[in-house]
Structure 1
């Protein structure tokens, strides 16, 4: 699609694509054959030949589309092709397994690789934001609540807010992995009966070969780990979408306090520099939020296997991973190019005339008089400002409450609070 540059990612698309799926299915079948050969479940020489073919077989994904559609599960089409390729050993291919065992185990291998890429990008983004936060720890700019100027903050503190959930997402990923990266090998109805009395030991052998966990209970119809992964992907892109939304607002024409990215032009308005990458972060966040909700529907998985529930995963999950890869790539590019515009920030402060320091003025006066009286004086100062465009909060309070160093008291850099002392390089707390 022509929008792939924004919403897709070549590396993640390759890891979650059909060729990777076939390759990981081959790895699972090879591990199964090796383990069964060592345990004498199938002839050792047949196991060796099957493993070699399974690891090296090169199939055209398009040639399997029709058979996968008939079977209702891609693994079945792969197994049929593998049996054909194994000739006289085909009776021992896929011995005792069910197609979903192969499909799910292969998916987990794909996910393991994909999550390594996402983790690396996430860690790189976290480090880049730490560097930016440190660099701009003392740069004062207006904070805004509900789209209105509220009080002074610093760009470093704002970036620290962006960064904090990303640190937590790394923690969540490490917690998620043991629940997700597990072999599926329990046979047709999840009982493992076809593998014989040593089914658990066989499962452990195959899992060890593939570097996966070996749960005792089948997860054919228990898809909570997949749904949890979808939730994690949505959390990551949601946090990146927040960064995108902030950059859009801070970079809009009448604000222009922060610039990030190269921007996109208009076909008819040459003066424009559209925040394309930041907008894409917001779009991806919304797409993954909706997809996560749809993926939760796969938890309603009837009996021991439900093709309609599985199909939801097949259609939803790969795109969520690919979009998350795209979002992390875009966010990293934006963070690297993030640049404040001190002149526009100063203009915002000048146009505000100190009104954003009203809270600070009120709390300062409350140390010298009843709070209600302090609030009344500040309200009067704001009213005077509203009626006279030359008035500032400092000048109004100097007249209403002389004897105080209002210039220093209301200096924005003196009123950024302890948020300005955040350890930008530290861990989230």
Structure 2
């Protein structure tokens, strides 16, 4: 097995989508860093920091030159960062030393790498937003279409009271609109340039031009201006990791429920086709719901690393920075894959009403105990009603008789009409399902319009 499933030719289509994975390839990183070097030169030329003719030559070369990522390996193994060797090869390939001498002027490796990361995170966030909108729309359709479809609500794995499948779908998506709002807040924090120089002071440029270079650099890349605090401010990346953990955790709850709802003996939903077994051809394993759980667990573990990496000692810190490299790409790939899988499941899964009805009425009617207690409490003290129903439930288990028959026998004068109907005991489930559908659809459509 490969050291990382995300890089495995065998497993990559299970745990990631290829377009997101491509953003974290060596070639994508090199291309992004070249773009950043070109934009930096362009901004410096406009501000008079370097000759404009050299700035133009560097910018053109950054668009045209190709650098083999493998050719950076030996030097990066020594220096930890690829930028020094990248800049050296860039200068050599330009074959114009009078211009090439200005490549990477005044910046430091972390400026180039952090800004190149922001360029790629812009695409990651766009993909995540697109899939989040698709997921909310799919769950909204399920919630609305099945707002009144009764099924057993379960607590501690036991039947509790009836709910609706629409309300369950709404529960899966309940956190998503707020998470979408938080993505909007994260974007301007993450999508910024970094230009602070060797120790955060940008001292290689005159103070009166340094700010102009920063502004031009950001404009050239379509990113926000460099954040205050320099290289050691890592809260935006930690916030992204935390957000991804909350998203994947929400989706894992959906996956866990679907695993239970598809198990033998329950079988309340049908999943999109997947999960065949070589040895047991009758099986359709809930592979995609299981994957949601695995990716959430992986993301949560890596989030711990990202939070620990907040501690960048002094002005820059190698250990914390390398920890980010080891963790953030997998978090991003797992995030987008989780959203993709959840959206496919939500769109194509089908509830099985006959099975849901059978699981409500198991022959005992015990699921209606709370409703009976409430009805009896209309004509007797609530504590007495509770005691009476508790006694009936004990008889139900001991005698093997149904609670509805025992109730009618014990309380022949009580009005129990309609009480033992699942549809009559849904409470706020239909309204909650429809309310979620409306809010999720509105939020998703707003995201789509902006995109």
Superposition TM-score tier, normalisation by shorter sequence: over 0.9
Paired residues for 1:105-116 under 5 Å:
105-116=115-126
Paired residues for 1:123-134 under 5 Å:
123-134=133-144
Matched, 1:421 2:431: yes
Q: Distance in 2 between matches of 1:303 and 1:125?
A: 42
Counterpart contact for 1:408–1:414, Cα < 8 Å:
yes
Matched, 1:312 2:331: no
Q: Distance in 1 between matches of 2:341 and 2:363?
A: 33
The aligned residue for residue 295 of structure 1 is: 306
Shift in CA distance, 352/311, structure 1 to aligned 2, threshold 3 Å: farther
Matched, 1:152 2:175: no
Structure 2 gap ranges (5+): 1-7, 444-451
Matched, 1:22 2:30: yes
Shift in CA distance, 29/163, structure 1 to aligned 2, threshold 3 Å: same
Number of aligned residue pairs: give it.
Answer: 428
SS in 2 for 1:220: helix
1:384-408 Cα distance to aligned partner (Å, 9 max, x none):
211222x222111111112234240
Matched, 1:220 2:231: yes
The aligned residue for residue 5 of structure 1 is: 13
Counterpart contact for 1:261–1:275, Cα < 8 Å:
no
Structure 1 gap ranges (5+): none
Counterpart contact for 1:33–1:50, Cα < 8 Å:
yes
Paired residues for 1:230-379 under 5 Å:
230-351=241-362, 353-379=364-390
- Shift in Å, 1:326: 1.3
1:323-348 Cα distance to aligned partner (Å, 9 max, x none):
11111121122112211112211221
- Shift in Å, 1:267: 2.5
Q: Distance in 2 between matches of 1:118 and 1:151?
A: 36
Q: Distance in 1 between matches of 2:420 and 2:153?
A: 15
Select the residue among 126, 140, 163 that pairs with 2:173.
Answer: 163
- Shift in Å, 1:216: 5.5
Q: Distance in 2 between matches of 1:217 and 1:101?
A: 13
- Shift in Å, 1:99: 0.7
The aligned residue for residue 5 of structure 2 is: none
- Shift in Å, 1:116: 0.3
Q: Distance in 2 between matches of 1:61 and 1:403?
A: 84
SS in 1 for 2:312: coil
The aligned residue for residue 59 of structure 2 is: 51
SS in 1 for 2:233: coil
- Shift in Å, 1:108: 0.6
SS in 1 for 2:397: helix
Q: Distance in 2 between matches of 1:80 and 1:406?
A: 85
Paired residues for 1:39-188 under 5 Å:
39-86=47-94, 87-88=96-97, 89-188=99-198
The aligned residue for residue 401 of structure 1 is: 411
1:369-391 Cα distance to aligned partner (Å, 9 max, x none):
101110121112212211222x2
The aligned residue for residue 393 of structure 2 is: 382
Over aligned residues, Cα RMSD in angstroms? 1.5
Select the residue among 214, 217, 220 that pairs with 1:209.
Answer: 220
Bigger mean CA offset, 261-270 vs 275-284: 261-270
The aligned residue for residue 39 of structure 2 is: 31
Counterpart contact for 1:247–1:259, Cα < 8 Å:
no
Select the structure with the greater relative contact order (CA < 8 A; seq sep ≥ 6): 2
SS in 1 for 2:230: coil
TM-score of the pair, normalised by structure 2 = 0.92
Counterpart contact for 1:298–1:309, Cα < 8 Å:
yes
TM-score of the pair, normalised by structure 1 = 0.96
Bigger mean CA offset, 152-161 vs 78-87: 78-87
SS in 1 for 2:162: strand
